[in-house]
């Protein structure tokens, strides 16, 4: 957690008190408002007035909860990267062959970028806006994600179920494909986040499979 000041903003749980439309947790609501604003208009185009006003607070009230606009971005980026990394690491340490694990990782990573596309947009498109010290921390997590996927490709080559001439480049391509979902995904579209995750797992399997007849799932679609 970046600051500990807004523990559970990643969860979409309901309000904890009785007031409708008002949770009482201003920190969490400020983060949620910042995610919306940063995702829609970009970090630099978003003003602290924007964020505070969305929550129904004065501009000054923001600074009671966060020391700066930068701190809000850092919170969102770090927590978001932690969530994405966690998804991938759970998938690649789960049961099954390298192909099964790769499919699970792509399925979960992709669905997250669709389901949480606003957070994902901030995570993926505002790296350059992060302060250098936080950017380094986040880049480490990104390397772990790429390494986890690349390891499945190497394992799949070794077992013979995959045929990937350049695992590093293909790992980057697979993750890039998933990441870009956050750029174009619209929840009003015809496909659910889970459906896109499944489609992308299929595409990934076809991209790496040694014998294309087996690119389909292995009974692991739930």
Partner DNA sequence: GTCTATACGATGATAGAC
Partner DNA sequence: GTCTATCATCGTATAGAC
The listed partner (a copy of itself, DNA, none) that binds 176, CB under 5 to 8 Å by sort, is: a copy of itself
Q: Footprint of DNA on residues 67-96 (CB under 7 A)?
A: 67-70
202: helix, strand or coil: helix
Find the part of the chain contacting DNA (CB under 7 A) among 44-52, 140-148, 172-180, 192-200.
44-52
- Size of interface with a copy of itself, in residues (CB under 8 A): 34
Q: Please name the residue that has the structure tokens 């389901």.
A: 115
184 lies in the site for a copy of itself, by CB under 8 A: yes
Nearest to 119 by CA among 50, 212, 181, 198: 181
The listed partner (a copy of itself, DNA, none) that binds 172, CB under 5 to 8 Å by sort, is: a copy of itself
The Cα–Cα gap between 196 and 176 comes to 15
Residue 100 token pair: 């099964």
Find the part of the chain contacting DNA (CB under 7 A) among 61-69, 87-95, 114-122, 201-209.
61-69
Q: Footprint of a copy of itself on residues 85-144 (CB under 8 A)?
A: 124-125, 128-129
Are the C-beta atoms of 157 and 167 separated by less than 8 Å?
A: yes
206 lies in the site for a copy of itself, by CB under 8 A: yes
Are the C-beta atoms of 70 and 149 separated by less than 8 Å?
A: no
42 lies in the site for a copy of itself, by CB under 8 A: yes
183 lies in the site for a copy of itself, by CB under 8 A: yes
187 lies in the site for a copy of itself, by CB under 8 A: no
Are the C-beta atoms of 192 and 215 separated by less than 8 Å?
A: no
The Cα–Cα gap between 47 and 162 comes to 48
Exposure class string for 132-152: b at 16+ Cβ within 10 A, else e: eebeeebeebbeebeebbbbb
How far from the centroid of its chain's Cα atoms is residue 15's Cα?
24
Q: Which is nearer to DNA, 26 or 178 (CB)?
A: 26
Q: Which residues bind DNA (CB under 7 A)?
A: 26, 46-49, 52, 56-61, 63-65, 67-70
| Contacts with a copy of itself, residue ranges (CB under 8 A) | 40-45, 124-125, 128-129, 166, 169-170, 172-173, 176-177, 179-181, 183-184, 191, 196, 199-200, 203, 206-207, 209, 211-213, 215
């Amino acid at each position: 957690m970046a600051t500990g000041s807004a523990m559970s903003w990643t969860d979409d749980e309901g309000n904890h008190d009785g007031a409708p439309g008002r949770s009482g947790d201003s920190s969490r609501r400020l983060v949620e408002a910042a995610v919306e604003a940063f995702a829609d208009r970009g970090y630099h185009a978003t003003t602290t007035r924007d964020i505070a006003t969305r929550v129904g607070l004065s501009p000054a009230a923001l600074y009671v909860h966060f020391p700066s606009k930068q701190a809000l971005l850092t919170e969102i980026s770090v927590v978001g990267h932690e969530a994405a990394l966690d998804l991938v690491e759970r998938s690649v340490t789960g049961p099954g062959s390298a192909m099964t694990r790769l499919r699970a990782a792509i399925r979960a990573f992709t669905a997250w970028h669709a389901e949480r596309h606003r957070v994902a947009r901030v995570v993926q498109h505002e790296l350059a806006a992060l302060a250098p010290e936080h950017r380094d921390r986040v880049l480490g997590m990104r390397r772990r994600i790429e390494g986890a996927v690349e390891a499945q490709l190497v394992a799949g080559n070794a077992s013979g179920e995959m045929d990937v001439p350049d695992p590093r480049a293909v790992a980057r391509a697979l993750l890039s494909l998933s990441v870009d979902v956050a750029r174009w995904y619209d929840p009003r579209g015809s496909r659910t986040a889970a459906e896109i995750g499944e489609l992308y797992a299929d595409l990934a399997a076809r991209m790496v499979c040694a014998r294309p007849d087996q690119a389909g799932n292995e009974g692991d679609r739930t």
